[in-house]
Structure 1
Amino acid sequence: MNDNVQQLLHSLANAQRYFVHFTRISIFIVMAWIGGLKAFQYEADGIVPFVANSPLMSFFYTKDAPEYQQYKNKEGEVVPKNIAWHQENGTYIFSYVLGAVIIAIGLLTLLGIYNAKIGLLGGLLTVGMSVVTLSFLITTPEVYVPDLGGPEHGFPYLSGSGRLVLKDIIMMAAGLVVAADAATRILEERNTELATYEVQHVS
């Protein structure tokens, strides 16, 4: 192994803690951006198929699936009849609350840079949110290519929505990494406190 490669390996190894912090920052950016977009009509409309078909979340809406399919808005489109339906459905109120929750999870994860206990909570909540999101691969018909006559449809042919959902497995892994790092720091702090306590009482 030449010196340049060895130096690179040492640099990467020594920077591991910084990379974990970068992971926290990345989670926050994604959460804050996507959570913030939940305040806008097009994004609130876009999550309806996921929520309406989910046994864990459908109770947040007043209308049953698949009624929403008659009132879909394309991104950037404003159809008063459809918007009125979504208002009755509770689409926008739910989206506002969900957005605030997502931003809060991102903020807790970011604060893990400074406080391990808060970071542990943020990491675990990130994992939990990812589990719910990935469950949409089971509950939401729109995540797979529809049967419109082509040879590729249904499982495992992911639609655009399905491909976005699948990427949340990366978010889950990131949440596990930052949670594990926070747990390590908490244990290190406790061991240090215990060692200090023993030294003081022995002396």
Structure 2
Amino acid sequence: MKLLKILAGSRRGYMHFMRIAIFVVMAWIGGLKVFQYEADGIVPFVTNSPFMNFFYNKDTRLPVDNGTGKQVAQYTLHKNPEGKVVPENIAWHKHNRTYPFSYGLGAVIVLIGLLVLSGIFSPKTGMIGGLLTSGMSIITLSFLITTPETWVPDLGGAQHGFPYLSAAGRLVIKDIIMMAGGLLIASDAAKTILKKKQEVISA
């Protein structure tokens, strides 16, 4: 019973902890978007997304021959392993506008994180941040439909395709928690706003 009372009485603190947690994730991931390896890493998601691919150069989305007579997406031939820099690949990414887009996306993500954090002091901006977090998560989760790399490829093994999530897919699916968290803090902020309005009317 004591534990139940502690948990119930700590609801407000936990709600703020949710805001701080979302901010940490947003600020960290958004901040990493200024680095080459992270910018390169999001290319498969952006290129295959109908919501975002127009930010990249149109000609870099056209399929090319991979040297074996098979047509493949260009970006698959220009992947930089994390921690490694290949000059030819960097040049391709510059032409693709990979880096400017990543910088802009990172700034937006950090801004949303700041709005969420501000919800501790300002319910209105916090509500906006929560709704934007949820909306961003919907786009991220759509990658499970649009990005082939989110599923284990068919390389001869028995487990491939749905429901076998790859490392990229396992990373994406976690955004369902961010979606729920965004809606939760937006709802809490809305409740606070309504309560304050009611107090004004009552006064």
Deviations 1:144-174 (A, max 9, x none): 0001000001111000000000000000111
The aligned residue for residue 38 of structure 2 is: 43
Between the aligned partners of 1:170 and 1:141, the Cα distance in structure 2 is 22
Deviation at 1:110, TM superposition (A): 0.2
Q: Which residue of 22, 27, 32 corresponds with 1:32?
A: 27
Q: Which residue of 125, 135, 140 corresponds with 1:128?
A: 135
The aligned residue for residue 201 of structure 1 is: none
For 1:17, give the aligned amino acid: R
Between the aligned partners of 2:34 and 2:145, the Cα distance in structure 1 is 26
The aligned residue for residue 61 of structure 2 is: 64
Q: Does 1:170 align with 2:165?
A: no
Unaligned residue ranges in structure 1 (runs of 5+): 1-5, 197-203
Between the aligned partners of 2:163 and 2:112, the Cα distance in structure 1 is 31
Size of the aligned set, in residue pairs, is 191
Q: Does 1:83 align with 2:80?
A: no
Aligned-CA RMSD value: 0.6
Tell me the TM-score normalized by structure 1: 0.93
Tell me the TM-score normalized by structure 2: 0.93
Deviation at 1:85, TM superposition (A): 0.1
Deviations 1:87-124 (A, max 9, x none): 00000000000000000000000000000000000000
Deviations 1:23-50 (A, max 9, x none): 0000000000000000000000000000
Q: Does 1:23 align with 2:18?
A: yes
Report % sequence identity: 64
Is the partner of 1:12 in helix, strand or coil?
A: helix
Between the aligned partners of 2:92 and 2:165, the Cα distance in structure 1 is 28
The aligned residue for residue 70 of structure 2 is: none
Larger radius of gyration: 1
Unaligned residue ranges in structure 2 (runs of 5+): 63-72
Is the partner of 1:161 in helix, strand or coil?
A: helix
Between the aligned partners of 2:190 and 2:56, the Cα distance in structure 1 is 37
For 1:56, give the aligned amino acid: F
Deviation at 1:78, TM superposition (A): 0.4
The aligned residue for residue 153 of structure 1 is: 160
Deviation at 1:67, TM superposition (A): 1.0
The aligned residue for residue 3 of structure 1 is: none
Between the aligned partners of 1:146 and 1:8, the Cα distance in structure 2 is 47
Between the aligned partners of 1:133 and 1:90, the Cα distance in structure 2 is 20
Runs of 4+ with deviation above 4 angstroms:
none
For 2:115, give the aligned amino acid: L
